[in-house]
Chains A and B, each alone.
Chain A
Amino acid sequence: MSEATANGAHHEEHARGISRWLFTTNHKDIGTLYLWFSFVMLLIGGAMAMYIRAELWEPGIQLSDPNFFNQMTTLHGLIMVFGAVMPAFVGLANWQVPMMIGAPDMALPRMNNWSFWILPFAGLLLVSTIFMEGGGPNFGWTMHAPLSTTYAPPSTDFFIFAVHLLGLSSIMGSINIIATILNMRAPGMTLMKMPMFVWSWLITAFLLIAVMPVLAGAVTMMLTDRNFGTSFFDAAGGGDPLLFQHVFWFFGHPEVYIMILPAFGVISQIIPTFARKPLFGYSSMVYATASIAFLSFIVWAHHMYTTGMPVSGELYFMYATVMIAVPTGVKVFNWVATMWKGSMTFETPMLWALGFLVLFTIGGFTGLMLGVAPADFQYHDTYFVVAHFHYVLVSGALFAIIAGVFYWLPKWTGNMYDEKLAKIHFWWAMISFNVLFFPQHFLGLAGMPRRIPDYALQFTEWNVISSIGGFAFGASWLLFLYIIIKTIRGGEKATDEVWEGADGLEWTVPSPAPYHTFNTAPEVK
């Protein structure tokens, strides 16, 4: 970085072959690695979901024993959360944050390499538990004690180590992102001029640093309870299994915002571009994001209403939870106001962003229903909860990731994707997603419990419809893979600006973005 070369094609030299990827410290390479890793995990976790939907095709036990079903629900959740959604957002951050703030690379490029290369090992360790004696983790992604301590299979220790590694990777990645954003911004880019995606990641990174260590602590206590005779969660030794739930959800609730705040950031980039208007209420967006992050720390026990909490506790957690609707509402209204009287066009990224907006809001509303303590007693641990968190995590986080991928793909590859195929994929996924998850609301309200391989006869019809949607939604990702590969291999050349209404530093560099960008910091006015 000592030589102040202008951005140009002559600066492309890097190692070839496998060593390029193993030893790379380039933020774009590492971003690509993160994105491909998360896509592979999406397919693995998705295959498990296909198994779950196949088993639930009809009442009774079809494919395997209930214990294997439990392993599938557990690993599906863990892989999607820690393997697919979180790394995908870190991948987007790696690619985009330096380009959006005019930095030549991340602040700590070598640590960046480590943050990524821990992941494949952690992922492999996690997936390999299925093949171990006694099977993989079967206690749900929430790993509540004593299911994860006294009654867990031996492979749980491997699972714990995998969680430690995943946490380490996240913490290192977060430190890197914060250092990059705080120290490497181009001259003139004040904090309140940063793109919303950068803001959302700054706040998310702080959340990660605050709560991933708490999860690490919780699984460490699990480990010592299992192997070293401690009794953190064992009543026989003076511990308390409920304590596990408190520690876990102290991590777990901020975790769900870790998965959605960067999604808010992506959507806040895309909607202004295709509405051809600046983001409405930029500073209120920043403050709303920060408020959501703060509130996420003080609402955790709304996951525990049915544990026998005193009414006063339920009231507090209920009010605190419902309060989150205020800053979230600010964001939704700001996105709508951004589109108001804009000259909108509906390219694929915009379609995904609008799909996000509608479906995430539905998921938000069911979240409010679940947040109301007396109502939660009906919904708790039913398919209603499953429907809720898939509306916020699939049509929320995942839709935003896909929106971001289509939005920035021309910048990454230099080629436009196949608009027609991409639109077919969007509508395919949009419709099948709703066929898959909307009926689960009805199932839950009718009383079907979650995490069971068998169910009462009256739930059959909606389960069949849900499974049909599930297989269609699963297949749509193969089309997505085809579209991405096709775009990488060629296609209509993208302009530097790519989108007519695009605004931001990343659109000032050539397409595809050269290996090194902003060796000389741009001036931001």
Chain B
Amino acid sequence: MEQADIRKATRGLVARLTLVAVGMFGFGFALVPLYDVFCDLTGINGKTGRLDQASAEATQVDESRWVTVEFVANVSSGLPWTFRPDERRIRVHPGEVAETVFFARNTTSVDGVGQAVPSVAPSLAAKYFSKTECFCFSQQPLNAGELKEMPVKFIVDPRLPKDITTITLAYTFFESKQPAAEAEIARTEGSPDSG
């Protein structure tokens, strides 16, 4: 190639390669929503579904089966609260709307805000486990010394694979990092999680 041609070809190539590099930088960030979508679709990672009350009640109850649902409550370090389920486990029919409560107490003399993050094990069961009502949908302010009763309503999808007979629902309370107002906005946009 002639000098001028080389220079021209090089300029075009550099522009395209730079574009690829910038694009891949964006791709790194695009992995964040892609990861969430992937987890939603497959139900792995323990992310559970959210269902409105009406469609939950319309679900056909499968009375021939029993599923044991176990409850686990954790508090992350840095949040001096106590947190426990009212019952360790309950037995439900798939398709039936069940309800249980958790208790959280702020043991300190300082008001605080927490956010509970749910997780379902085995992870394959997650997409068959939906909640119609949950304290994890919103941030929970707890005044100093306050004890709060937190209800959860959930439904197990009758399509749950036959070999799964026990589902564990675990909650971990984290100290909320965002001010409550910001969190409200985040929630209406569909994050931080679907339930």
Contact = CB atoms under 8 A, between A and B. Distances in A.
B115 A236 contact: yes
B31 A213 contact: no
B18 A221 contact: no
A409 interface: no
Interface in A207-239: 209-218, 220-221, 229, 231-232, 234-239
Interface string B1-34: 1010010011001100110111111111101100
B76 interface: yes
A1 interface: yes
A242 interface: yes
A412 B126 CA distance: 62
Contacts of A1: 3
A210 B24 contact: yes
Q: Is the interface of B mostly helix, strand, loop or mixed?
A: helix
A250 B175 CA distance: 30
B90 interface: no
Nearest to A208: B21
Given A240-B35, A243-B32, A229 B20 contact: no
Interface of A is mostly: helix
Contacts of B44: 309-310, 313
A175 B17 contact: yes
B14 A108 contact: yes
Contacts of A324: none
B29 to A, nearest CB: 5
A247 B14 contact: no
Interface string A1-41: 11000000000000000000000000000000000000000
Interface in A277-328: 308-310, 313
A270 interface: no
Interface string A235-270: 111111011001100110000000000000000000
A415 B151 CA distance: 81
A179 B14 CA distance: 7
A93 B42 CA distance: 44
Contacts, number: 110
B192 A310 contact: no
Contact of B177 (A212, A229, A251): A229
B17 A246 contact: no
Contacts of A239: 192
Pick from A175, A232, A242 the residue with the most CB of B within 10 Å.
A175
Contact of B13 (A183, A216, A231, A235): A183
A169 to B, nearest CB: 12
Contacts of A231: 177, 192
Contacts of A212: 21, 24
Contacts of B193: 238
A235 B117 CA distance: 7
B9 A183 contact: yes
Contacts of B144: none
A171 B21 CA distance: 8
Interface in B153-195: 172, 174-178, 186, 191-193
Given A107-B6, A183-B10, A236 B21 contact: no
B45 interface: yes
Contacts of A251: 28
Nearest to B30: A217
A184 B6 contact: yes
Nearest to B124: A310
Interface band, chain B? 35 or more
B112 to A, nearest CB: 12
A216 B28 contact: yes
B123 interface: yes
A107 to B, nearest CB: 5
Interface in B87-126: 115, 117, 123-124
A231 B115 CA distance: 13
Given A183-B6, A209-B24, A214-B25, A236 B177 contact: yes
Given A238-B191, A240-B45, A308-B123, A213 B21 contact: yes
Contacts of B186: 238
Given A229-B178, A234-B177, A213 B13 contact: no
A216 B123 CA distance: 31
A237 B192 contact: yes
A175 B12 CA distance: 12
Nearest to A232: B32
Contacts of A246: 31, 35
Interface string B32-64: 100100000010110000000000000000000
A372 B26 CA distance: 32
Contact of A175 (B14, B26, B177): B14
A234 B174 CA distance: 10
A401 interface: no
A283 B45 CA distance: 43
A214 B28 contact: yes
A436 interface: no
A182 B13 CA distance: 9
B13 A179 contact: yes
A246 B30 CA distance: 12
Contacts of B115: 236-237
Contacts of A213: 21-25, 27-28
Contact of A236 (B6, B13, B14, B176): B176
A62 B3 CA distance: 63
A243 B35 contact: yes
A178 interface: yes
A518 to B, nearest CB: 13
A8 B22 CA distance: 42
Given A183-B9, A235-B172, A236-B175, A243 B31 contact: yes
Interface in A177-222: 178-179, 182-184, 209-218, 220-221
A178 B25 contact: no
B145 to A, nearest CB: 23
13 contacts: A107-B10, A175-B18, A183-B10, A209-B20, A216-B28, A217-B25, A220-B28, A221-B32, A236-B117, A237-B178, A238-B117, A238-B193, A310-B42
Interface of A: 1-2, 107-108, 171, 174-175, 178-179, 182-184, 209-218, 220-221, 229, 231-232, 234-240, 242-243, 246-247, 250-251, 308-310, 313
Q: 7 closest Cβ contacts across the A-B interface?
A: A238-B192, A217-B28, A236-B174, A213-B25, A213-B24, A214-B28, A175-B17
Given A107-B10, A238-B192, 12 more contacts: A182-B13, A183-B1, A183-B9, A214-B27, A221-B28, A229-B177, A231-B192, A239-B192, A243-B35, A246-B35, A250-B31, A310-B124
